[in-house]
Structure 1
Amino acid sequence: MHRIVNLTPHELTFIGSDGTTIARIPPSGIVARVASTSKQIDVLDGIPVFSTEFGEVVELPDPEEDTVYVASTLVAQAAARAGRTDVFSPAEAILDEEGRVIGCRGLQLPV
Structure 2
Amino acid sequence: MLQELSERSETAVSLYNLTQHHIRLYRPDGTTLELLPSGKVARVASAPEILGEIEGVPVLYTTYEQALNLPDPQEGVIYITSWLVAEVTKRADVVCPDTSPRSAVRDEHGKLLGVKSLRSYTNMGNFQPLRMALFHEPKSVCVQCY
Question: Do these two structures clear the TM 0.5 threshold for a shared fold by scoring above it?
Answer: yes
Question: In the TM superposition, what are the counterparts of 1:1-111 in structure 2 within 5 Å?
Answer: 1-17=12-28, 20-80=30-90, 84-91=91-98, 92-111=103-122
- Gaps of at least 5 residues in structure 2 are 1-11, 123-146
When Rg is computed on C-alpha atoms for both structures, the one with the higher figure is: 2
Q: Matched residues in 2 for 1:42 and 1:5: separation?
A: 40
Residue correspondences, number: 107
Whose helix proportion is higher, 1 or 2? 2
Q: Matched residues in 1 for 2:46 and 2:72: separation?
A: 21
- Gaps of at least 5 residues in structure 1 are none
Q: Could you tell me which residue of structure 1 aligns to residue 7 of structure 2? A: none
The alpha carbon displacement at 1:35 in A equals 0.5
The code of the aligned residue for 1:75 comes to V
How does the TM-score come out when normalised to structure 2?
0.68
Whose strand proportion is higher, 1 or 2? 1
- Could you tell which deviates more after superposition, 38-47 or 61-70? 38-47
Runs of 4+, deviation exceeding 4 Å: none
What percentage of aligned pairs have identical amino acids?
A: 36
Q: Give yes or no for contact 1:40–1:50 (8 Å, CA) kept in 2.
A: yes
Q: SS in structure 2 opposite 1:49? A: strand
The code of the aligned residue for 1:100 comes to K
Q: Give yes or no for contact 1:13–1:21 (8 Å, CA) kept in 2.
A: no
